[in-house]
Structure 1
Amino acid sequence: MLLCNLSGFRLAFRANFAWLAAGSLLILTIATPLSAQFSGRQPATVALDIGLSVLRLLLPLILVLMTQELLSREFDRRYFLNTLSYPHPRHSLLLSRFAAVAILTLGLLLLLAAALALLVWFIDQGYEQATPVALGQQYLVTIAFIGVDLLLLTAVASLLAVVASTPSFVLIGTFGFMLVARSFGAIVELLTRNTAVVNDAERYRSGIGFLGYLLPDLGALDVRMVALYGRMELLPADWPWLLLSCLTYTVGLLGLAVWALQRKRFA
């Protein structure tokens, strides 16, 4: 297991993970101060909002690219002929590579979150807002919820890497899952509050609401409001159940990926 973990980290850095991390940091460093210029009265709030959006867009892309390199390429280039020759079960390969991607992604999340907090703090020094941003406990809660989101997406990418025939499907499938899981909750809420958006809004709402039984509500994990306005009461009322359901979904996807790998026949 330890050998697989070490090989996973080596493969990740051979796949230019360090350059991806540096590029992400550069994009964040440029986007955050520039976005603050678009608001004269709340520059720190706008900067933090845009910075968190950058994190939620860039990090899923990086984890998918790493999953492609650590798992999809393993099967695509037939590296498994060497890897699976070691005396360890198949599932140790999958779980170790999942752990490597998760550790690298969450580590990068902490690095970017620290950089974002520092940038916002500097921006906040230039103008005292009526509603200052919260970079303490509220900010840590926001980052923790993003971490759960990324952990679940890593499990989705790992499952797709096992069952997909081409590495590109991992990117398409993971981002498709992410877009649907992050948006259907907001669409249901919109149709509930404003029934004039479409004809027969009730039918649309019930149809889209059915996705709630199949997919986790990743949109609800975006709790940036508690950091933007410093109010913990803006957390969803059912946040413990939300976190538990997402973590359970992650474990279920990993179990399904292990089952698929055990039954996978290599040509």
Structure 2
Amino acid sequence: MPIYHDFITALRLVFKAKFIWMAAGVLLVLVLVTLLSAYFGGRQPAAVALDVGFSTIRLLLPLLIVLLVQELLSREFDKRYYLNSLTYPNARSTLLLGRFAAVFALVLCALFALGVLQVGLVRFIGDIYPQATPVALGQPYLIVIVFLLLDLLVLAALATLLAVVASTPSFVLIGTFGFMLVARSYGTIVELLSNNAGVVVNAEGYRASLGVLGYLLPDLGALDLRMLALYGKSEFLPADWPWLLLSNLAYACALLALAVWALQRKRFA
């Protein structure tokens, strides 16, 4: 199967580029940040450690996505390796989908490792510093991880699209993180302006302007359900969670389809 062949090739390229060391660095950062936040967190150290751990994962894994996409796609076009990888009968779409599948598979493995490590660290902290309301590390934690995985899927699809259309690899980093910051924050800002109109002058105008982004960008901020794991209460799960899942999944598929379309029409020098 052509996609499987490109998938295996991408994995070999990634491990040749010392992906193991990058993943080990991410794991080490999570351990240090989680333990230090619990030590200096004061009250409810397990909840503080879990909260900071989620923030660390949501910051480091997008960076890992960018590095993987730059290695597997941007470098492919920049170094003209496509002269070999796109020879007949290998289609452009199979190359792109195979590389994307490799990126997402590696990110999935990294998220699984980070999730298991975080559970172990939080339980260790909870045994040392018991708190009145323990964090929920069962089904609520799994729900948080699933929604986080969907967030990463959208970012991986966007980074893939940017790698195809961008002229420089650095634009993949700038574009992906710029998109991430806006998509994760605009929903919260709109809610803040709706509930506290006195925060800025002409709050209604700001809210209307930011509301336009809802038609262009997915609300990645709504995928952050860490409160569900921190307090274990079902009311923190949005009532429209099926629509939230389907809309973001459709957005990721649309980005990936657009990346395939752009690569099919890309003219190589």
- Structure 1 segments, 4+ long, off by >2 Å, are 38-41
Aligned residue runs from structure 1 range 98-177, under 5 A: 98-177=100-179
Out of 183, 198, 201, the position equivalent to 1:199 is 201
Q: Are the aligned partners of 1:15 and 1:66 in contact in 2 as well (CA < 8 Å)?
A: no
Q: Tell me which residue corresponds to 1:23.
A: 25
Name the stretch that deviates more: 151-160 or 231-240: 231-240
In 1, distance between residues paired with 2:16 and 2:55?
Answer: 28
In 1, distance between residues paired with 2:170 and 2:86?
Answer: 23
Structure 1 spans left out of the alignment, 5+ residues: none
Cα deviation for residue 34 of structure 1 reads 0.7
Cα deviation for residue 41 of structure 1 reads 2.8
Q: TM-score, normalised by structure 1?
A: 0.98
Aligned length in residues: 267
Cα deviation for residue 257 of structure 1 reads 0.5
In 2, distance between residues paired with 1:180 and 1:14?
Answer: 34
- Provide Cα deviations, 1:47-68, integer angstroms capped at 9, x if missing partner: 0000111100000000100000
Cα deviation for residue 237 of structure 1 reads 1.4
In 2, distance between residues paired with 1:168 and 1:40?
Answer: 40
Q: Tell me which residue corresponds to 1:10.
A: 12
Q: Are the aligned partners of 1:135 and 1:227 in contact in 2 as well (CA < 8 Å)?
A: yes
SS at match of 1:37: helix
Q: Are the aligned partners of 1:5 and 1:100 in contact in 2 as well (CA < 8 Å)?
A: yes
| Counterpart code for 1:255 | A
SS at match of 1:264: coil
Cα deviation for residue 197 of structure 1 reads 1.1
Cα deviation for residue 10 of structure 1 reads 1.0
Q: Are the aligned partners of 1:133 and 1:227 in contact in 2 as well (CA < 8 Å)?
A: yes
In 1, distance between residues paired with 2:151 and 2:58?
Answer: 9
SS at match of 2:198: coil
- Provide Cα deviations, 1:133-169, integer angstroms capped at 9, x if missing partner: 0000000111111100001100000000000000000
SS at match of 2:197: coil
In 1, distance between residues paired with 2:206 and 2:85?
Answer: 48
Distance 1:86-1:7 versus aligned 2 partners, 3 A rule: farther
Aligned residue runs from structure 1 range 185-264, under 5 A: 185-264=187-266
Cα deviation for residue 229 of structure 1 reads 0.3
